[in-house]
Chain A
Amino acid sequence: KAGVTQTPRYLIKTRGQQVTLSCSPISGHRSVSWYQQTPGQGLQFLFEYFSETQRNKGNFPGRFSGRQFSNSRSEMNVSTLELGDSALYLCASSLGGLAGSYEQYFGPGTRLTVT
Chain B
Amino acid sequence: DAKTTQPTSMDCAEGRAANLPCNHSTISGNEYVYWYRQIHSQGPQYIIHGLKNNETNEMASLIITEDRKSSTLILPHATLRDTAVYYCIVRFILTGGGNKLTFGTGTQLKVEL
Contact = CB atoms under 8 A, between A and B. Distances in A.
Do A and B interact with each other, yes or no? yes
Contacts of B100: 33, 45, 48, 56, 58
A103 B34 contact: yes
A106 B98 contact: no
Interface of chain A: mostly helix, strand, loop or mixed: strand
Interface in B35-69: 41-46, 49, 51
Q: What's the interface size class on A, roughly?
A: 20 to 34
Contact of A42 (B51, B93, B99, B103): B103
Interface string A50-72: 10000110100000000000000
Interface string A1-16: 0001000000000000
B29 interface: no
B43 A96 contact: no
Contacts of A106: 43-46
